[in-house]
Structure 1
Amino acid sequence: MERIRQMTDTRRCALLWAATILLTAALLFLCGGKVHAWEGDDDWMRDTFSRYTMAAMLSGQEENYFNDSEKPDALTVLNYTAYKMYQAGDTGTISFDTFYEDYVCANFSAVVNKEDLKNAAEAAELDNRKSKFFDYDKGTGKIRILDVLAGGDSKQCVYIGWQDKDNNNDQTVLYGMWKDPAPAGEWKDYYVILTIDGYGDDAKIVSYQKIESNDVKFSSEFFINNYDDNGEWVDETNCTRELNGETRVILPYNEDVHSRATMTYKGEEVETTGLAGVKVTSSDKDIVSVYDNNENYEEISSVSGDKVGTVKLTCEFQSRTGEIVYTEILPCDVAKFEAGRDNARYDSYGMCVLHNTDVEIFAKTEGLDEYKKQNKFSYVWKSAEIPEIDGETTESVTYTAPNDEKEAEISVDIYIAGKKITTQSVYLKVKNGVLDYKVYEMPGTAMKEQDTTAPLLLNKRYFIDLTGGDFGWDYGNDADQCFSSWEFTMDGKTFTITDKEAEDYNTPIQQPDFMTYYKGFAGGATPNCLFTVKKAGQLTVTGTIYQNNKVFRTISKTFTVKSENTNGTTPKPQPQQPAQPASLQKGTKVTDKKSKAVYKVNGNKTVEYNKEDKKAKKATVPSTITVNGVKYQVTSIAAKAFANNKKLTKVVIPASVRSIGKQAFSGCKNLKSITIKTTYLTKKSVGAKAFKGIHAKATIKVPKKQKKAYQKFLKTKGIGKGVKIK
């Protein structure tokens, strides 16, 4: 090491040069003789192409073509060489012989006669209309390198991409399109190719030719990225299909679908590194939403199907400098796919089956009727826990449940026209169908479980969970049929409420005199209720779930209600307290003065986190807020609540949140840390693109028990492949 330090600068340079030669030789060997431009390392290609086409335009020779055995236009050669020297900082005055031998010959493979170049340089000096990057003095025989003196016309040649030349591993073909933003008379865009030999600054021009437009084909690709349970990218799902001779796009409902531009020349793929991507416009934004400028995927547009239906997608292929090189309009079908029973409403929570019963499980599709008519669908079922259905290829499979508890994941790959479009899964739970209660006292927002034989105390809030009443039992019920209901009876008086009534915030509850029932607390995978008892005595609580439009299971339990004193009597009347503050009306917006966050009232003492302070770098969504003495629970985060906050780096979502709206955190490119405390989120309760465009290396912490489920559906909500869910 000491010996190297003592080397002269010359010897150091020689050592570095030798190392560079060895490294280059190794790369050439590994790449089969050519160092390719991977991962966007094609700036030199773009520069070479743009430099030549600009030189041709300034010389008025953009249609002067030549092959590898012909001579290029002399003035274009002069302008190209001089412009490249100017860009490299090689300005000043040199002899024409040096210019020719050291620069021209280094930039062109074709033999260019020196005298022809001198004659062209002399002619350019005499013609003031010629734009050029040089001055030539015939008397001294010297040439001076300039910035361009004047300008050409409105035409420009847009760089599109590159392709290895057939049977010649040292040569690369560069593709572009001549356009005229301000055409005079009849003008039609056309394609050209520039063939080069070598790599980088050492690349030489071989030929410049026009190609037939009919040999060029552009197409939009729409695809879904697939990830494993660890968040690692696995593969892509192609979403384009052929139907009745036309190309169509199929969007699985609520999936994050990406777009990119592809091009072929005579059937061979061209690397479209000169294109920024596809700018997509939807003819109906209620059916297909478009999201622009996703930095994680370096794409112009991605799309999401929000409603089953058909739209037209206008796809504009844009260059990296903004020019449109091609436009196509594609029909697009949005479809819902699901695995489960054919008449179930909540198989996303799992599919419950009684012991010793048969269940038929379907691959369900809503939409795509024409594909069905033409028998374009096929299926492959998978289940590690149930080998008898693993590998089945029918639209449905039948399973006979055992005589004991069992859980198994069942998935089906759904294919359209021979290519997989989606994988749908359902979690099978074999159960005995027995209902039970879990009772929790709720001091504030905490939950304190108590024995079901213990008495209920007056004026305390209680939460009862109907265990065993899994939403996976909900099938065969019509749209207007409830799945669960609660009945409360005391002193001969009865109060009944269904899940549909509890979720209807627009209709107030006619409260009984012996209790108060609270709306807006439903969540989790089983029915539940929240209430306060106002009278001492015997309270009978009956929970019921329905299947096939009739009672499936029911359970009743009678609780003793007493005051906190021990004799069980109603306490003596206390002096009248001041009237409690009235709750705000639904839709009212309030701003927290400290955090500057905006909330919107949902209904009975629940609010939505509507908008945050755009200057905040960290945000903790509270579980409750108090307004005018009334406490409200924060149960949702609104669509676009945090969208495009470039300063936000950290977010905490509380356990009270039941839903997150579309694009809630989209565009928060510096959001690196998200903590999700709630256990109630599902694929349906989290909107499309909720986390699209967050930091590429973000970490999302989720509850341990929900880790697997959250990892699965959060990947469909716009997160990049580098985001970790743990």
Structure 2
Amino acid sequence: MKKALLFGAVAVILFGGKVQATQLPDATATQPDTTVTTQQTEQVDANAIMTKAEQQMNSMTVYGMEMWMNGQMMMDIALDMNSKVVYANMSVSGDTMTIWGDGNTKMAYAYDSTVGRYYFTPDTADFSELESQKNEAMQTVKTDPSLTYSYVGKVNKTVKGQTTECYQIHASVTQNETTSTGEYYISTTDYRLISMDISLYSKAIVGSTGNMTMQVNLYYPQSLAIPADVIAAATISPDYTVDRGKVTYGVKYVKGQPVLSVKSAVKAKNKVKIEDSVTICGKEYPVYEIGEYAFSGNKKIKSVSIGKNVQVIGKRAFYRCKKLSSINIRSKNIKKIGTYAFKANNGTVKVKVPAKKLAKYKKVFAKSKKFIELTK
């Protein structure tokens, strides 16, 4: 690590990691208190304290961090290396984003404040880099022989309502017109890192003012687990997609309920079957729709079987499918056909529908009658 970025590892772990970002105890609204208990009247080896803090950090498997930037709370994140659970509460464009992730089940749970609910996303919580992120965190207290650490005194630090007596250690470095200074607060009883106050002066990095202040507060819960009510209340994310064969299905919400839409099938060929439903995490979701442009431009499909739960065929869903000659619709509840859903194919596409629905479907498919031939 470059000396000019001595304290940059904090930003790396908080902003550069792949962990998903939700809420443990609520993040404090104000920065923790610092109360001086003694001045520098005793002889204390600052380097030895930093070394012990580094060793302690190396042994930690469960810990959390609050990050404050220029007096504003930016993030509260916690990791449990044992259970592989991660939590974060972040401020993004004025909104709070909260997420839980479980590396064992590969599940992530994100709170959407616009609708007031948690969504879960399967197979996306990859925490293979947790150990490397922990190593990044360790860099924040890794001793550097080129730096001079000085003992300031003992102070009380309060993080998440827990007050700890700490050694205050000062460090600074200047390189390439960038000056970084830091105040480390390390527990006097077990040498755990409790807090860091970091100041950076560099017009090249920070901008016209050249000044940035950051405070990082650490806390040490016994363990992390995703709350049962979060798991119970969560519904599948509207951003989730799943592949079945050569067909990609995406989640969408219709009247508040999750259903599936065919998003893409451009790689499909010959005979294609659109499923009645798809099972995700043990639950069946009906395939409600052939999405807009789903098969558009596919020059290899010849026939398509559409599942019994489909109600909508989107705009240009089968546009320019040059080899498409037949479609078998098993659904008895088609309600909408999008514009040019079957246009620009070679010849008329034969569309077979349930016998009892032929008369009704002639009306539903009226705008597509130039491009298809309805049969029963």
Normalised TM-score (structure 2): 0.36
Normalised TM-score (structure 1): 0.19
Larger Rg: 1
RCO higher in 1 or 2 (8 Å CA, sep ≥ 6)?
Answer: 2
